[in-house]
């Protein structure tokens, strides 16, 4: 799994804010392998020697820092959907590490175990995770997290009030697990994303791309992620190459080696999104074209016909007819089932 530059930038920004020189660290502006990122965190801990470093780093990770994952979370309708998505696509990929989401009679619980212990800061990943979780939930709900608390399985390494100051909720130590606990009724309150007619579809698209990203590490899959990350603003080849920290010529050469091109990937992503919009939303043809960055509906219709051999309207009509036939078949099968 690749760790995106936004995490690296947040890490180095936190180091600077603590008044340390970064010359002893290798600043990275391109994705790192996961183990390389942990080594960078280890060097940062050794450099800063600040017990609050993990809390400060995690608190700086607003949803926008998490790239495709963060965009998907911002499109979720409820905290329940966001938590379930986080668990399914959690960035903790070690054999021992895990994130779980569960209920008891009165509470909802987001728990985390880490398979990584950094020398000098064994609880670094746990502290950073829960600080980032508090920041992210705050971004989603827009208010203080009333009724929430955090329990840590370890003993504090600094004054307990310091933890509460950075996390903004009551904190207890020496418990059976590392977990964020909140009132059960809060998870189904509608968030801002609930008003977006394409929110659910966008979350599904992000999930699919995150799964592909976990299975593939080639340049084409990374470009697909960046294009979907734009959420309606279609990035140009130049913008994508800048995000990947490479020249346009290098990007074209590497894609050629993979047997594809930027235009082919762009068309593939646009077509995938177009078919999903037409199949799963009531948006007009013109609105779908606008979402995908086309200047007018006519250009979108021509592109869609080139991709699929039919017009957008014909595709939608066929999908609706298929859905209706499936409903009829289901009713028929139900009627002839013997008692």
Cα 31 from Cα 3, distance rounded (Å) = 5
Phi, psi (deg, nearest 5) at residue 112: -150, 135
Q: What is the pLDDT of residues 235-255, one digit of tens each?
A: 889 988 887 878 899 999 989
pLDDT at 123 over 50: yes
Cα 273 from Cα 276, distance rounded (Å) = 5
Strand order in the sheet with 107-113: 98-103, 107-113, 179-183, 149-151, 171-172
β-pair partners for 183: 107
Q: Give the confidence band of 105 by pLDDT, cuts at 50, 70, 90.
A: confident
**What is the pLDDT, as a whole number, of residue 15?**
93
β-pair partners for 179: 111, 151
Say how many C-beta atoms besides its own lie within 10 A of residue 232's C-beta: 11
**What is the pLDDT, as a whole number, of residue 193?**
63
Mean pLDDT of 294-299: 89
Domains of the chain with bracketed CATH? 54-192 (no CATH), 218-309 (1.10.10.60)
Q: Which one is predicted more confidently, 31 or 58?
A: 58
pLDDT at 327 over 60: no
Q: Which two tokens stand for residue 125?
A: 């990943």
CA distances from 199 to 84, 129, 313 (A): 15, 25, 22
**What is the pLDDT, as a whole number, of residue 159?**
94
Q: Are 127 and 58 in contact (CB under 8 A)?
A: yes
Q: Are 10 and 60 in contact (CB under 8 A)?
A: yes
Q: Are 140 and 66 in contact (CB under 8 A)?
A: no
**What is the pLDDT, as a whole number, of residue 67?**
76
Q: What is the pLDDT of residues 36-61, one digit of tens each?
A: 888 899 999 999 999 999 999 999 99
């Amino acid at each position: 799994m690749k760790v995106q530059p936004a995490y690296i930038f947040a890490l180095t920004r936190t180091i600077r804010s603590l008044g340390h020189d970064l010359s002893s660290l290798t600043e990275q502006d391109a994705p790192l392998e996961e183990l390389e990122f942990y080594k960078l965190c280890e060097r940062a801990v050794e450099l800063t020697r600040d017990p609050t470093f993990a809390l400060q780093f995690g608190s700086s990770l607003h949803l926008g820092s998490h790239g495709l994952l963060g965009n998907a979370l911002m499109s979720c309708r409820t905290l329940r959907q966001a938590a379930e998505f986080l668990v399914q696509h959690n960035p903790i990929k070690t054999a021992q590490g895990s994130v779980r989401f569960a209920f008891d009679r009165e509470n909802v619980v987001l728990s985390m175990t880490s398979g990584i212990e950094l020398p000098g800061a064994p609880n670094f990943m746990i502290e950073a995770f829960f600080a980032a979780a508090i920041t992210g939930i705050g971004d989603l709900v827009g208010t203080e997290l009333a009724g929430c608390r955090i329990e840590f399985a370890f003993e504090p390494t600094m004054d307990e009030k310091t933890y509460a100051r950075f996390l903004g909720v009551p904190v207890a130590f020496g418990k059976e697990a590392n977990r964020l606990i909140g009132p059960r009724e809060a998870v189904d309150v509608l968030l801002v994303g609930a008003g977006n007619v394409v929110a659910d579809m966008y979350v599904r698209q992000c999930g699919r791309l995150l799964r592909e990203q976990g299975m593939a590490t080639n340049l084409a899959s990374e470009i697909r992620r960046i294009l979907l990350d734009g959420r309606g603003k279609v990035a140009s080849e130049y913008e994508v190459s800048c995000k990947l920290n490479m020249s346009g010529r290098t990007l074209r050469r590497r894609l050629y080696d993979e047997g594809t091109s930027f235009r082919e990937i762009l068309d593939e992503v646009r077509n995938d999104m177009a078919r999903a919009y037409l199949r799963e939303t009531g948006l007009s043809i013109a609105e779908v074209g606008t979402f995908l960055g086309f200047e007018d509906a006519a250009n979108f219709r021509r592109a869609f016909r080139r991709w699929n051999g039919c017009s957008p309207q014909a595709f939608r009509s066929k999908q609706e007819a298929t859905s209706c036939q499936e409903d009829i078949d289901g009713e028929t099968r139900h009627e002839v089932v013997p008692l």
